[in-house]
Amino acid sequence: MTREYFLEVQNLKKYFVAGNPNLFNRKVKHVHAVDNVSLELERGEVIALVGESGCGKSTLALTLMGLEKSTDGKIIFEGIDGSGKTTQLDRISAWLKQYDIPVVTNREPTSSPAGLRLRESASGGRFTPEEEAELFLEDRRNNVENNILPALRAGKTILQDRYYYSTIAYQSARGLDPDEIRRKNEAFAPEPDLVLLLDLDPETALERIKNNRGETPNLFEKLDYLKRVRQVFLSLEDSNLVRIDAAGTVEEVWEQVHAAIKPLFPQITPP
């Protein structure tokens, strides 16, 4: 029988900056207040955090309650097609790897059977809104079980190109209830630490698809539809969501992205 946990924590980390860097001391040191803590708690079970002063009890409790943000995390890239998500994801991956931070990059739809059906529908004919939403759920469950959770348990940072925020935007733009879409997804999909919404007007996005990628826009990339999708994205008010103006050059967008992700990685101390 599978045990169901009220709380499950895998490889939780929380680092704090120690001291104040200045002109004469530019290296930043970090205190590893919580480092690779894992625990499981069933409903009705009580757990006590015991230890000497300074061992990290309070920090662990605050992080579990969401009052402190963990150091390791999941970063999600959202936005309409042509906004530059994949370009920025690849750039973050390269930046993190140069500091030896283990990274997993991921994209939805995946190559699961449900994901492949969704990819094929972009050119062969879309499913009904209800069928499409169910296929995204099936594909995402597979992604969470086989990719996301194993990577988190291994203490890796996940860079995800599209997640359930895209499902909320793209499927509610076809008439489905966005709150119901969110409820079904958040029942099993881990909440990301950071969502980067690369915002771009659909006209410019479609021009990039045609001119930069040399592709013909598919059935998910119709102008009127993307306008509705963009409005849903812009209506999201999640506290972990940061809007990025994707209209500039790759370098200009990177500056915004870099500023948004740096607080998640205080252990990185550039020379």
Q: What are 207-225's pLDDT values in tens digits?
A: 887 776 666 666 677 888 9
* Higher-pLDDT residue of 59, 249: 249
Which residue, among 220, 112, 106, has the nearest Cα to 159 in the 3D structure?
A: 106
Domain ranges in the chain with CATH number 3.40.50.300 = 74-264
**Owner of token pair 């930043």:** 28
pLDDT mean over 159-180: 94
- Band of pLDDT at residue 235, cut at 50, 70 and 90: very high
Q: What pLDDT does 80 receive? A: 62
- Residue 67 carries which DSSP code? S
CB 28 within 8 A of CB 21: yes
CB 185 within 8 A of CB 172: no
Give CA 161 to chain center in angstroms: 8
* Topology at the third CATH level for domain 74-264: Rossmann fold (3.40.50)
76-124 tens-digit pLDDT: 667 766 677 888 989 999 999 988 899 999 899 999 999 999 989 888 8
Instruction: Indicate the average pLDDT of the chain.
Output: 80
pLDDT mean over 171-186: 96
Q: What is the DSSP string of 177-226?
A: -HHHHHHHHHTTSPPPSEEEEEE--HHHHHHHHHHTS-----TT--HHHH
Q: How many CA atoms lie within 13 A of 131 on its CB side?
A: 7
pLDDT mean over 191-220: 82
